[in-house]
Structure formats: structure tokens, C-alpha cells
Structure 1
Amino acid sequence: MKKVLVVLIIIIGSSLQAQNPGIGDAASPSVRISSGIVRGIAQDGVAVFKGIPYAAPPVGEYRWRPPQPVIPWEGIRDALAFGPDCAQGGWGTAPGTIREGSSEDCLYLNLWIPAGARPKNKLPVMVWIHGGAFVGGSGASAATSGEAFAKQGVILMTFNYRLGRLGHFAFPALSAEHPDEPKGSYAFMDMIAALQWVQDNIAAFGGDPNNVTIFGQSAGGVAVHSLLTIPQAKGLFHKAISHSGGGRDGVLTGRPMNKENADPFYPVSAETIGINFARRHGIDGTDANALAKLRSLSVEEIVDGGQESDGEGGPRTYSGPILDGKLVVETAESAYKAGRQLNVPLIIGSCSAEIGGSFVNFAGTKEELFSLFGELEDDAKAAYDPEGNKEFDEVQTLFNTDWVWAEPARFAARFFAAGDMPAYIFHYGYVPANMRERMRYGAGHGAEIPYVFNNLNSRRGADKTTKADEEVARILNTYWANFAKTGNPNGAGLPVWPNYGTAKEEILDIQPDGNIVGKPDTRKARLDVIEKASSGSNRVRIQSRGGI
């Protein structure tokens, strides 16, 4: 009788196991999460779940409110297609329209899972925050698909967050409405809600909620800095990577909610910008009735390019992230200086030639640019043009890159290193052979993304890949996966990436020809002069514009 019971137990256990295969074992894997059952698709060793809602649609009464809980569904929800991107205009969009495929109903996420993953596996999780100047972008870009990460044993999640005035907006009646709620930067609230979804649900997919790495580029890199300094984000992630996200103030990192500001970069408050926007649409007053009229505007009227008059005769401006005092309590720079950031392992870096032109100021010649440095003019010339023979376009591109991204990245890394946390700096300069004529000064803004994700056939990758392209992509994707697993990017078969420290100041240099080496930072003289200028009275004279 005892033997019969044992056999029955084995049979029943085997049957249950057959009904509950690993996430990537079945062609149509299904997983139960807090809001219902989702069904994805598995192929080539990776299970993919797309378009999973992580919050209720932020429409109607929920416009300019924190993300609300998802309404549970009955039965099985197919997770086979990306959800709509968040409402945005974008290049070439006609006035009064939004980009095709975007919508105000947009709070969806996507997952790439290694084959055979089970809840007990506790796989590392990476959460990608897309860029786009906080007015554009998507979690469904071909360049950021997660197959390569999944094949490295890492779960990748991408998601959408509210953009433009739907993502960052202030108005007096909003401040008074629901006084217990945070206000202003709804995009950051969405990011926190997505990370909370990971905490609540990722174990069902085989992920470890206690090993989450956030990473993002451009505005997504700025968001990484913000999440490192927003108290409500504490405990939701454990490692961070910022691509081209700066680290200092001055790049849309926080506008006061309701106080006018003497800072020339933020002369008016976010609420003033909101009032001016309402007046443009014939909405007077600042009470609940005016707010109701704002909520009745179409999404096309809200999006309209993301800009509005500052009310002072100045340039049209979009508020960007907002210092509301409850959610966003300070800028990243002030938090780092005071040691109030989340102390977690960090990778940070930028490309070698991010953006040229008048991105930072309107200087038209080398002489005019160097004169903006004031008493540091000779230092700037020695650092950027020691022989006096460089083209203005090259000098301006390098200056823009260092001012907005490279020096602020070093600034941030120093504080993490001082807190005895691993900090790794990268300098991405690789340019594919078939693009070197077009990218004469180095790698531009976002050039590293298809290599980090090892998606070289995406629209942002090389037109025709070479062995050098494939090797750079393999190495970078492995560095990032290793960091997600252990907090250290290094591993077998990889060039050693030195931990940054102020004594040796070593970084990982991804060179134009694809050679990758850990070495002292050869940009030191340039970054030192930028540090002096950005920390003193020269800052106002040098930066007359900016933003990503």
C-alpha cells in the first residue's frame, strides 16, 4: 500500500509539473500576476510578454493624477503586441495631431524572459527607461528589445511613461486637489509604479525582486539620477546605470512648483507655465472649474509640441521635471553633494561626441566660445585646442559633450566612489567603419544603445554589421548583464573595467576602432576646466540654453 501511495504521488507531481512548465518551455506560456493571467509567446529560447498594463489608463479624471491600480481582468489576457506609446508629437507631426501609434492610454510594460525560467530561479532583472527629452520615445523600440539580455540569463523589462505636459505639469487647482497626493512629475510617478509592479509580480516570471537594475539613456539617464534621489523610490531597485544622463543641475532636472526663481535657467515656476498654457486655450482662472476645462481638452491640444510661452516674453518653454517638495524634493546635484542619494553600485558614462551646434549656447566661433569661460579662457584653450588648429564644429561638439554629460557623469561617480560603492565610468567612442565619414568627431547621442542591447539590425545600428561591430556589441551586452547579476561588469573573456576612484581616475574607453581598454581618463584636462566653470560664476555666461 505504501508503494502504491508513493507511485501515485510521483504521478500526480509529474502531472502538475507538466501543467506548469517553465516560462520559456511552452510556445504560449501563461503566467498569473496580481491583475490576472497573461499569455506570451516563446521562441528561440526567449519568452516575450508585451503590452501588460501596470496602471490604469491615465485619462479623464486620472489625467494629472498619480498612476491608479489596474482593474483586474477575467480569463487570459494575450500579451502578444506592444501597447500604444505615450501621447507625443514628434518630428513631422502636423499641428493638432499626435504621432501615429501613441495615445494617452499608454501605461504598459514588456518583458523578455530566459527560456525555462521558473519562480524559484530568482533571475536578475533590468528595467530600461527610454529617452526622448521627456516629450518622446517608447518602450517598444527595436533597438531595445531584450532577446540578447534574456539569453544572458537576465530578465529585461521596458515600459512607457507619460510624456510632455501629460508627464510634467503643474496648475494651482491641481496643487489644491487631493492634497495627500504628489504633484507635478507624473512621469516619475509612472516609473515608480512600474518598479513597484516588478516588486509585486516579477517573481512569477522567475525574477528576483531583490536584484533589480534600472538603466536609461538621455532623459532616461536623467530619470535614473532622479530615482536615485527620490525617497519613494528607495528599495525598488538595487543598481543603476545612467547613459548620457548628466548628473548636475542645468539639464531639465527640476523646476520649482509654485515659486518664481532667480535662476536664469528656470525663471518662472511650473505653475506659471501651466497658467500660461491654460490662457492659450482661453481658460482663465486657476480654480477647479479651470482644471475641469483643462481635463476636457483633447490629447492633441495638450501635446501640441510640448512648448508654451513663459509669460515673460522669453522663449517658449516646457517645464520638464518639477520640484514639488513631496515626490521630487531636491535635484540630483544637491542630493549628491549632501550624500542623500541611494548608495548603490553605479555605471555611468556618455558618448564621445554627443551633440554639436548651439545646444548649450549661441557662440559662433572658437574665440567667442572660449571668451565665455572668463578668467578660465586660457585654460579652456589649452584643454580643447592646444595647437589652435581645430575646427570650431569639433571644439563646440566636444564642449557640449563635456558640459552636459561627461563632466557631470564624473561628478556623480565621485560621490558614489566616496561612499564606498562600486562606480564604473564608460566613454563610448566606437564608430562603425561605414559611418566614420558622417561621424567625424566621434560617437553621437545614443550611438551605444544598439550595442549595449546587442541589436545591431535595429534602425539605430550599423547598416551592415562587421566582426568589429559584433564584438563591441557582445562585450558591452555582457558587461551590462554581468553588472545586473553581481554589481560588477567584469568577467571572463572581457577587458578589465576598472572601478573608478579619484586616485587613478580610470575609466573604460570604447575607442573609435572598437578597441576596449581600461585606462586613466585622457579627457581629464577638459573635464577639469568644465568642473571649474560649472561650479563658479561663469556658469551663467556659458550656458544660455540647454535641455535634452
Structure 2
Amino acid sequence: MKLKSLFVVAFVVLAPATAAKAFPIVRIDAGQLIGRTLDGVDSFKGVPYAGSAAGPMRWRPPQAVRPWRLPRDAGEVGAMCVQPYSPGDPGVGPLPMSEDCLNLNVWTPSERTEPLPVMVWIHGGGYNNGSGTARLYDGANLSRRGVVLVTLNYRLGRLGFFDHPALAAERPEGEPAGNYGLMDMIAALEWVRDNIAAFGGDPEQVTIFGESAGGVAVTQLMVSPRARGLFSKAIVESGMGRQRGVTLAEAEGETLRSTRARGVAWAQDAGVAQTAAALRAAPAAKLLTPAPSIYGGDLVINDGIIVGHDVVTAFEAGEQAPVPLVIGTNSAEFWWIKPGDDTPYGRFDDDMTPEQIDALAQGFGGREGYDAHVISDVIFNEPARHLARMHAKAGLPTFLYRFDVVSEGSTEPHEGATHASERPYVFDNLYSVRWDYERDQRVAKLMAGYWTEFAKFGDPNGEGRLRWPDLRGEVDQLLEFTSDGPVIRAVPNPERLDLVERLYQKAVREGAVAPPAGEVGTPPQRP
């Protein structure tokens, strides 16, 4: 235990009355936690929701936390999960990375008289990088709106999504495999169910929300048998949605899409013996390259336990969780990726002839429009519209949005809101990106208000805000966030999205992964 933590524990134990205001204490299943109070919000950071996933626990389902006897200091964030790189965050400084990273953070109003709705954030990063500890995801401002906010870490890359015949040989019958990052998210939601009442949260009112890969995770949790009943609402921000994943038979086979075959190939290339003991003893650094990524479309195993069917199939069959849904995209998502770029989605038209590409480009108003918009439409815009339509068709509350805000402080060389740029507004944390302009502040207050209202009531509409249409009654109508305020409009560019939808339907008929993507690839980065 760090010297600072020892001091905090001693102070709380020896002077409980004095410490109570600045160092709130809660008791959870594993023991007592000592938090911090700042400006009306209590925070508890670095709280373990599962045991260490290092050493012999590598590539095993998350294990129970060992209880602690003395009060545990929860004043600082825990380690990030091991990843190939970290963009860095000046708000928290360089954080240690470890396989002992299954921890979460909680913010809750200091004064509360009744159980509050809970919001659980799942970070993005292509299932390959990222953390719930970034300053951008500080939950204090959302918590001040009357919610309990939780952020979490989960295993990433090959440590979170991997299988190998040697691991399968020792696996108990019925134990899920491969989807360890998703198992971590489910373990965190089970922790919330069992412990969040100690922080003033209502375990029956839990909203999961995430962006990019975190949005994908939300949709996968919506079709997860194991996650059913652990949340009551869902928000998907730029969550793609058309990743097929691999079936259990494909995962266990010997094709290029086989999870186990790729595990064997990686071990061979890395010079690691093909035994479970050697795999678990391999240095974590060896597991980081080449980096697997969600953008390849074959990272997650649809095993019927952690993930049922692929997301689209489940939504089309009405088998998703019957919960209210907010879903949307940004106006210039992957603007920096063009067809033909050396990225998984940049290569989606590799198998098309120049004549076919020219014909397709006509639907985008010519080659210039095709180059500018097809990648974003294929990955984000059409899948979001499709999932929203299917959810509304199932008779479930569905709210579609489009984010089109570009801060005066943005240095992006393009028009429109790029991928992930909505996050500072959702968390009302504009200070984290230094976008402290009056128009930005208005948008942030508006979005945070809609998001927390949805968490409270399953409907984002509230007094003083433009009414957001429910797709059950107003087909293909969305709320668009702009710098000048929100507007209601029809889904833009429907002809383009119809064209992309037909591409997907054709690929499914032909048995392809629609549209095709690479086997592996790091998350596409902005230049």
C-alpha cells in the first residue's frame, strides 16, 4: 500500500468524525472503501470488481475479488489494462499498465435521499486500447445531475480476445472462451448489481453506454444471454453494428477466420511454445503485436453463452434485450479513411472491379462523394439506422441522433464532427479538451441533460428541451445536435444508406462478411 494511502486509512480510523466529510466510507461485499468528496460528489476509484487476470489467470473468466480486512483507500485510479500504446492524458498523467487491471470508478452525489439511476460507461478503442480512467470520463458532472456514474476497464487486444487449442484442452466443459473482454464487462455489471446500492445507486435502473468499440460492446451485451437482466437501458454512440463475429464452429475450425488457428499462428510467429503454460508465461509485450482489432470483424465469438447471435441477426429476429435505446453517429466519422487505404475498412472494395466501383460511386454523386462518405456510411451510418429501425419494429422505445458539432477550438482539417468528438459533450467535460466556448457549453449541458434524463426515465425528453422523436411513431426521424442548437430532421442521405444496405444484403446472401474486412488491424488513427 502506498504511503499516501496508509496515511488516509490511518486518518479515517483514528479520527472518523473529522474525516467523514472529506473521506466518505462505504461497505461493499469485499470490504470497506474510503473515497473522496469534492464539490458535492463522492468518488471511489480503482475499485477491483474482479481478481487479477495475470499469470495463471490469463485467459480465464474473471475471478471473484479476495476480500480485504482493513478499509481500502479508493482515492486514486487503478492500472490500465495492457495495450500496445496509450495516447496519454494530461489530466491523469502516465498510468501504469498491468494485467491486474479489472477495476472501476464510481461517482455519486454526496447528498442523496433515494436510490439513484446508474450509468455504466464502456470505453472505446477498437477492443485494443483505451481505459475508463481518462480525465475525459470523469463522472462528477454527470453525477451532479442525479445519477451514479461508473467507468470500468476490461481486457484488451490478444489478452481480451484470444483462443488456442492448448487453452481449449484444459478448459472445463461449458466454460466460455475467447470473449474475455466481454466477460469482464459482464462481471463489472454483476458487481454493479451486487454493490451499487452501497453508493446510493438503484441496481434495477442501470444504463449501459459506450462509444465506438464501447458502443459495439453495448450492442453485443444487448444480445448476450449472460448479460440479460443486468441493465435496463442502452446508449450506443458510433457503435458500428454490422460486425458479424465468428460462430463457435468457425472459431474451432482451421479456416482463416478460426480464432484457435490464428492463436496457433501467432504463437508460432512470436516464438512461444504451443502449450497453455508457455502461453500464460509469455511476456505481455509479445502479445501486443500484431494487434488484433474489432475492425477486422472476427474478434468476437458468437458462442451462445456470452454472445448469442451476431448483433444484426439478433436485432432482426427481435432477440435483443427489450430495453429503451438511444443510438446515433457523428457527421464526419472516419473522414480520414478513403477507399483503397491500407486499413481493414479502406480495403472493403478490393474485390470490386473499377467498373463496379464507378457504378457504386454514382450513388454518392460521383467519385469525390464516394471517397468522402462511403467508409462512414458503411461502418457507422447505415448500421445505426438499421439497428434503430429493427429496435423500433420490435415495439421498443428508440431514439436516433446525429452529432454535427465542431468546436471553435477544434483543429481538425475537415467539415463535420469526427469520430469520438461527442464524448466531451456527453460527459460535460469540455475542460478535458480545452473547448471552453459558450456554444460548446450549451451543447454539453444539452447532451448531458438528454443522456441523464434517459437514464432516469427511459425517455430523453424533459422540460425545457426540444422533443426528441421516438422512432416507433416517427419513422427515420432523428435529433441532430448542432452548434446552433438541436433540430429534428429526417435521416440524411437516405439514398446512400439504401445503397449500402443493399450491399450488405447482397454480401449476406453470398455468405460473405459484409462488407469484407481484414483479418487484423490496429484501430484506424487520425493523421
TM range (shorter): 0.7 to 0.9
Give deviations 1:405-459, integer Å, cap 9, x for gaps: 1110111111110111110111111101233x6342311110000000000011x
Q: Which residue of 1 aligns with 2:233?
A: 239
Paired residues of 1:29 and 1:39 also in contact (CA < 8 A): yes
Q: Which residue of 1 aligns with 2:493?
A: 523
Q: Which residue of 2 aligns with 1:510?
A: 481
Q: Which residue of 1 aligns with 2:126?
A: 133
1:306 shift after superposition: 2.0
Matched, 1:122 2:122: no
Q: Secondary structure at the match of 1:343?
A: coil
Q: Given the superposition, is the C-alpha separation of residues 486 and 191 from structure 1 closer, same or farther in structure 2, using an over 3 Å criterion?
A: same
Q: Which residue of 1 aligns with 2:175?
A: 181
CA distance in 1, matches of 2:350, 2:273: 43
Q: Which residue of 1 aligns with 2:9?
A: none
Q: Which residue of 1 aligns with 2:387?
A: 412
CA distance in 2, matches of 1:373, 1:413: 33
Which has the higher Rg, Structure 1 or Structure 2? 1
Paired residues of 1:507 and 1:519 also in contact (CA < 8 A): yes
Q: Which residue of 1 aligns with 2:311?
A: 332
Paired residues of 1:161 and 1:187 also in contact (CA < 8 A): yes
Matched, 1:282 2:263: no
Q: Given the superposition, is the C-alpha separation of residues 33 and 422 from structure 1 closer, same or farther in structure 2, using an over 3 Å criterion?
A: same
Give deviations 1:172-214, integer Å, cap 9, x for gaps: 1222222231111100000000000000000111100000000
Q: Number of aligned pairs?
A: 491
Paired residues of 2:460 and 2:468 also in contact (CA < 8 A): yes
Q: Given the superposition, is the C-alpha separation of residues 74 and 188 from structure 1 closer, same or farther in structure 2, using an over 3 Å criterion?
A: same
Q: Given the superposition, is the C-alpha separation of residues 413 and 318 from structure 1 closer, same or farther in structure 2, using an over 3 Å criterion?
A: closer
Q: Given the superposition, is the C-alpha separation of residues 67 and 369 from structure 1 closer, same or farther in structure 2, using an over 3 Å criterion?
A: closer
1:543 shift after superposition: 4.3
Matched, 1:62 2:71: no
1:469 shift after superposition: 0.4
Paired residues of 2:136 and 2:427 also in contact (CA < 8 A): yes
User: Normalising to structure 1: TM-score of the pair?
Assistant: 0.83
Q: Given the superposition, is the C-alpha separation of residues 317 and 243 from structure 1 closer, same or farther in structure 2, using an over 3 Å criterion?
A: closer
CA distance in 2, matches of 1:526, 1:426: 18
User: Normalising to structure 2: TM-score of the pair?
Assistant: 0.86
Q: Given the superposition, is the C-alpha separation of residues 499 and 457 from structure 1 closer, same or farther in structure 2, using an over 3 Å criterion?
A: same
Mind listing any 5+ residue stretches in structure 1 that lack a counterpart?
1-18, 94-98, 262-266, 309-315
CA distance in 1, matches of 2:278, 2:187: 27
The percentage of aligned residue pairs carrying the same residue is 39
Paired residues of 1:29 and 1:40 also in contact (CA < 8 A): yes
CA distance in 2, matches of 1:65, 1:136: 20
Give deviations 1:111-137, integer Å, cap 9, x for gaps: 01012136xx21000000000111100
Q: Which moved more, 1:524-533 or 1:222-231?
A: 524-533
1:301 shift after superposition: 1.8
Q: Secondary structure at the match of 1:232?
A: coil
Amino acid at match of 1:105: D
Q: Secondary structure at the match of 2:431?
A: coil
CA distance in 2, matches of 1:451, 1:341: 28
Q: Given the superposition, is the C-alpha separation of residues 299 and 318 from structure 1 closer, same or farther in structure 2, using an over 3 Å criterion?
A: farther
Q: Which residue of 1 aligns with 2:429?
A: 455
Q: Secondary structure at the match of 2:182?
A: helix
CA distance in 2, matches of 1:328, 1:216: 17
Mind listing any 5+ residue stretches in structure 2 that lack a counterpart?
1-15, 89-93
CA distance in 2, matches of 1:359, 1:258: 34
Q: Given the superposition, is the C-alpha separation of residues 254 and 148 from structure 1 closer, same or farther in structure 2, using an over 3 Å criterion?
A: farther
CA-atom RMSD in angstroms: 3.1
Paired residues of 2:27 and 2:198 also in contact (CA < 8 A): yes
Matched, 1:161 2:154: yes
CA distance in 1, matches of 2:505, 2:43: 46
Q: Given the superposition, is the C-alpha separation of residues 359 and 259 from structure 1 closer, same or farther in structure 2, using an over 3 Å criterion?
A: farther
Matching of residues 486-497 of structure 1 within 5 Å = 486-497=457-468
CA distance in 2, matches of 1:374, 1:332: 32
Q: Which residue of 1 aligns with 2:412?
A: 438
1:155 shift after superposition: 0.6
CA distance in 2, matches of 1:504, 1:42: 45
Q: Which moved more, 1:177-186 or 1:443-452?
A: 177-186
